Amino acid sequence: MRYIKYLLIGISLICNLNATTVYENAEDGEITGWRIQQNGEEPKNIFSHTLNSRVIKLQGDGGPWILGAVSGDLAWNNGREKTISWKMLTGGRYTVYIPVTTKKGTRYLFYNDLPKRILRHGVKGGILHGLGGYRHSEYKNVWRTYTRDLERDLKDSEPDNEIISINGFIYSGSDALLDDIVLYNPKYKIYEDGTTPNRWKITDGDINKTNISSIDDPQGDGVQGRVIQFKGDGLNSAYRLDINNSKYQIIQWKSRFYEPYSVSIIVNTKDGIRELLYTNSSKYYPSGGVKNGGKTIWHELGGKSLVGHNGWEQKKDFGEINHFWQTVTRDLNQDIKDFQKNNRLISIISFEIRGSGLFDDLKLLSRPEITDPKKDLIYEDGEDGTTKKWHIYDNSPKGATIKNIYDEDKESRVIEFNGNGFENGYEIGARRGDKKWNNRDHKAISWNIKFNDYFSIFIAVDTTKGTRYLTYEPRDTNRGIIASYIRFGIGSNTKDGKWHNIIRNLADDISKFEPDNKLIAINSFMVRGDGRVDDIKTQLNYKLIIYEDAEDNNTDGWRVFSNTSGTAKIENIFDENKNSRVISFNGNGKADGYALGGHWNNYDSRYFQWSMNFNEDYTIYISIQTTKGRRFLTYTPKNENGGKKGDYILIGLGNKSANGTWQTFKRELQKDLSLIEPDNKIVAIDEFMIRGNGRIDDVRAY
């Protein structure tokens, strides 16, 4: 849900606009939503060791590759968020197109590596903003982050036009890697809105011939209101505004100059004070570099296209002179890293401009707040004591209620529905409108239910074939698809008045009855019937990987990694108590060790589960790759965690875990790692190891 909060501090305005939609972060391991036109290979989803995350790989003969669409059902149709951010690595020339619907029709906001701006270049409705880097090796084959204010990029050329919706992302050019394609509304802090000339200081030029004033925009197309006017001796006059901000890293301003100008931003970095210098010459190359022994980092802003009397490079649309305000948006941390890759921004100290012209809307912007897709997203756990996220979508007959109560059996707060049974319906999230979850990251959902009569659970989702309602019923068989409903049985026992946990992979459920359909987004959770629900949460995926269930009657995949006794033995046997086949270990207790796997390279699973029966001391290790190197999550029958010992993270499962009975343990591995190393992250799961005599079964990850 979006909210706007204004806080006036002195003359600076701080604004929070909480909205972010992630269209691609690749963490689902899939390429859903992407398609190739004309030339090139199908996109690939690969793991990047540089980013320690999954990314999208595009390669072939230039594409284009499309995520979303220009229009239609596949288009994003996002009218809420107007700023785009993406990460990209490429080794050659490229063009990125963002198709948008505007009041005046379709426009293509597009970006390449030239430092210039051109109106309606190449394609009908095309508006080019160059991002720089042409022929610069520093920009090639390194990850860069790009951020663009799409509304401002449109208004630079069409000030009386407005974006209605943003519809997709199109890449054309050399082989590339992409990640974190998002739309968002940044938080921002305004340092100049055209009304505070007294905040500026004249730092160079004849003070008697230099002036700073606030005036009404004298000739701008559209209504710009009050603006700052700088008058002096061109580039010989300079004007400075102190900023002192360590929170934000993206800067934006508007200007209308009729002569060359330059901007100098003084920043504090890891390697000391730096000057970020921006000029508007007509050079294509070089368009950036370092000066003054590395103390100045220079970037070209776009040549004549930023000088008012020359206008955009295709002047025929406007005549000899235009009066369009031009917006500049720069990621200062990225601008530093372009030429000093091991340096980083700490804080912004001041902003100085040289030249005579008009200036407005100096602000700092936040980066998108992207939730880690590997973390579960909890939509309801009842613990806030309210029902404010819920609504009754079918209140006929009237009298249906939603309550937040304490459940004695579950020993926690839960949500309770009371009405006329199946005739009333309740919903969290929304099937349409601003309250939709629009969860594009996750493919799985889980919930707990307690019903003693018939009920149905509906999960509203967007798919490549339109809206679908995945329907879960207390039946022992699936009923399949009818219209937009896909119906699954989750067991007749789920209406026995007891609590049941349900986990579903929604993408897999769709493909069972529509193999050519794909999940795009999860939007809402609906209930029909009288009963209770709790712990509604989505997760990245639910792909169950069974590493061992012993039912194949062999021990393939296992090995003895430590045979101190010389008699260590691994067997596949039938266990009378468990009534299934299991894996048995016999040797000299913890002196002998046994291992399953070794090079799983499981980048996707977050949970690890096993069943065990030990009646003596044991140690279980899960070998993982992390951002800080190899770690061994180490589980013992102790009541307390033991901290970190070298590469070993010591976690106690309790002394009852070695009591000679079958027990099942489910561990969220990142949570276990974070208990001891909160700044470390899991990259992949590789191996399961045991020391001790006992039995193991049902080793799985998901």
pTM above 0.75, yes or no: no
Average pLDDT in the chain: 90
> pLDDT band at 9, cuts 50/70/90?
very low
Task: Tell me the C-alpha distance between 452 and 459, whole Å.
Answer: 21
User: What is the tens place of the pLDDT at every residue in 538-586?
Assistant: 988 777 899 999 999 999 999 999 999 999 999 999 999 999 999 999 9
C-alpha radius of gyration, the chain, whole number = 30
What structural domains and CATH numbers belong to the chain? Answer: 20-185 (2.60.120.260), 194-365 (2.60.120), 377-539 (2.60.120.260), 545-701 (2.60.120.260)
Amino acid 231: pLDDT: 95
For residue 189, the one-letter residue type is K
> pLDDT band at 66, cuts 50/70/90?
very high
Buried b (16+ CB within 10 A) or exposed e, 180-199: bbbbbbbbbbbbbbbebbeb
CA 520 from chain center: how many Å?
15
Nearest to 98 by CA among 115, 254, 58, 81: 81
Amino acid 543: pLDDT: 78
pLDDT reading at 13 higher than 80: no
**Which residues fall within 8 angstroms of residue 648, CB to CB, at 6 or more apart?**
621, 631, 632, 634
pLDDT reading at 321 higher than 50: no
Query: Could you tell me where the beta strands, DSSP code E, fall in 529-568?
Result: 531-539, 545-548, 558-563
User: What is the tens place of the pLDDT at every residue in 337-356?
Assistant: 999 999 999 999 999 999 99
Task: Tell me the C-alpha distance between 556 and 542, whole Å.
Answer: 25
CB 583 within 8 A of CB 560: no
Of all residues in the chain, the percent with pLDDT exceeding 90 is 78
Both tokens of 588, joined, read 């000299």
- Classified as helix, coil or strand, 336 is helix
- Classified as helix, coil or strand, 388 is coil
Residue whose tokens read 């406007």:
318
**In terms of residues, how long is the chain?**
702
For residue 206, the one-letter residue type is D
Nearest to 182 by CA among 80, 257, 107, 290: 80
Select the more confidently predicted residue: 221 or 491.
Answer: 491
Task: Tell me the C-alpha distance between 226 and 588, whole Å.
Answer: 84
Amino acid 315: pLDDT: 39
Amino acid 119: pLDDT: 58
Amino acid 10: pLDDT: 33
Amino acid 476: pLDDT: 94
Instruction: Identify the helix (H) or strand (E) that includes residue 675.
Output: helix 669-676
pLDDT reading at 28 higher than 90: no
> pLDDT band at 373, cuts 50/70/90?
confident
**Which residues fall within 8 angstroms of residue 157, CB to CB, at 6 or more apart?**
117, 119, 120, 127, 312, 324
Mean pLDDT of 582-607: 94
CB 252 within 8 A of CB 328: yes
Task: Tell me the C-alpha distance between 572 and 580, whole Å.
Answer: 10
Mean pLDDT of 371-384: 89
User: What is the tens place of the pLDDT at every residue in 416-471?
Assistant: 999 999 999 999 999 988 889 989 889 999 999 999 999 999 999 999 899 999 99
User: What is the tens place of the pLDDT at every residue in 627-667?
Assistant: 999 999 999 999 999 999 999 999 999 999 999 999 999 99
C-alpha distances out from residue 168 to 20, 46, 67, 108, 227, Å:
15, 22, 6, 10, 34
Mean pLDDT of 286-292: 91
Mean pLDDT of 472-478: 96
Buried b (16+ CB within 10 A) or exposed e, 142-164: ebbbbbbbbbbbbbbbbbebebe
Amino acid 121: pLDDT: 54
For residue 155, the one-letter residue type is K
User: What is the tens place of the pLDDT at every residue in 108-159?
Assistant: 999 999 887 765 555 678 888 889 888 899 999 999 999 999 999 999 888 8
Nearest to 436 by CA among 348, 340, 350, 526: 526
Amino acid 223: pLDDT: 61
Mean pLDDT of 610-615: 97
Mean pLDDT of 5-28: 59
Q: How many CA atoms lie within 13 A of 229 on its CB side?
A: 12
**Which residues fall within 8 angstroms of residue 332, CB to CB, at 6 or more apart?**
249, 250, 251, 265, 267, 276, 345, 348
